[in-house]
Amino acid sequence: MASINTSQLVQWLDNYLQASRFKDYCPNGLQVEGTPTVQHIVTGVTASQALLEAAVERGADTVLVHHGWFWKNEDARIRGMKKKRLAFALEHDLNLIAYHLPLDAHPEVGNNTQLALQLGLQQDKDEDGQPIGIGPSGLIQLGYLETPNTLENVAKKLCQQLQRSPLVVGNPQQIIQRVAWCTGGAQGFMTEAIDAGVDLYISGEASEPNYHYALESDTAYIGAGHHATERYGVKALGDKVAAQFGVKVEFIDINNPI
Ligand SMILES: [Zn+2]
């Protein structure tokens, strides 16, 4: 069975995802040190207790996620759920590796690019072929539908691809061509999408103001699910790691309706 040194893997990931470029809300890279050799990786959106248990059940030694632990502003004390998760990881010698913003933004395996592939969205690109983003860390992607379609039909396609019915605000018959999107909890950036003059802004979650903004501007809003919009980045990253190092990698989708 193929294997790789844990520190070599993390170094490769840091470099591939350009992790040092980002000012993030959590540490990126190796968050909890486990076994020094990696043979079997489980990938998933969030390092929840359920994902850790599923990983151990499958005999994995490493968990690679988009949402890891140790978030800025969280209570630093190790107690309750946090104690349980950490004790479980240590007891099973699991490596926990997490990449947050670097895995949203990456031009190839990033959540935003991968969501575009799901929906058939063309990304605006600069002269170097890199996707053009606006807003904080350039995380909001701009692009377009090659064939303009109604909001209703765009929502239908989203529903089919993501296997989830999205929250849609706007006139169902509105023609959508220019689109901005940012996976996960980026509903707060909607005004930047409106300023960019797009017909539709897509993110994962929704907040109360999104409703009014969509009705009072020419920009419709779709909340397609935080989890649902962020499944594809870590999955693509896992495929990349498997191809690069030949280690076993499996994606586990722990369902989350939010
Ligand atoms: Zn997220």
Mean pLDDT, contiguous 10-residue spans, the chain (258 residues): 96 97 94 98 98 98 98 95 98 98 96 96 92 88 96 97 96 98 97 97 98 97 98 98 98 96
**Is 226 within 8 Å of 204 (Cβ atoms)?**
yes
Distance between first and last Cα of the chain: 37
Contacts of 212 (CB under 8 A, 6+ apart): none
CA of 10 to the centre of ligand 1 (A): 21
Spacing of C-alpha 163 from chain mean position: 16
CA of 230 to the centre of ligand 1 (A): 6
- Å from CA of 82 to ligand 1 middle: 19
Architecture of domain 4-100+231-251: 3-Layer(aba) Sandwich (3.40)
**Rounded-to-integer distance, Cα 13 and Cα 96, Å:** 13
Beta-strand ranges (E) seen in 34-79 are 37-38, 40-46, 62-67
Residue 196's beta-bridge partner residues? none
Task: Name the CA radius of gyration of the chain, rounded.
Answer: 19
CA-to-CA distance for 175 and 153, rounded, in angstroms? 10
Ligand 1: distance of its center to the CA of 198 in Å? 23
Residue 80, pLDDT score:
97
In the chain, what are the domain boundaries?
4-100+231-251, 105-227
For residue 134, the CA-to-ligand 1 centroid distance in Å is 18
Distance 185 CA to ligand 1 centre (A): 6
Expressed in angstroms and rounded, the spacing between residue 66 Cα and the centre of ligand 1 is 7
Q: Which CATH architecture has domain 105-227?
A: 3-Layer(aba) Sandwich (3.40)
Rounded to the nearest angstrom, the distance between the alpha carbon of 168 and the centre of ligand 1 is: 20
| Structure tokens that stand for 41 in this block | 């990786």
- How much distance in Å is there from the Cα of 201 to the middle of ligand 1? 17
Q: C-alpha angle with apex 228: 62 to 213, nearest 5 degrees?
A: 135
What span, in angstroms and rounded, lies between the C-alpha atoms of 255 and 82?
20
> From the CA of 122, how far away is ligand 1's center (Å)?
22
pLDDT score of 188: 96
CATH topology of 4-100+231-251 equal to that of 105-227? yes
How far apart are the CA of 2 and the centre of ligand 1, in A?
31
Residue type, 40: H
Q: Ligand 1 centre and the CA of 107: distance in Å? A: 17
Q: Show the tokens assigned to 9.
A: 């893997």
> Could you give the 3-state DSSP secondary structure of residue 18?
coil
The answer to whether 169 and 177 are in contact (CB under 8 A) is no
Closest CA to 228 of 141, 162, 180: 162
Give the Cβ contact number of residue 13 at 10 Å.
22
8 Å CB contact between 186 and 207 = no
Pairing of strands 121-123, 167-169: unpaired
244 C-alpha to ligand 1 centroid (Å): 26
Gap from CA of 173 to ligand 1 centroid (Å) = 30
DSSP lists the bridge partners of residue 202 as: 181, 222
Q: How far is the centre of ligand 1, averaged over its atoms, from the C-alpha of 184 (Å)?
A: 4
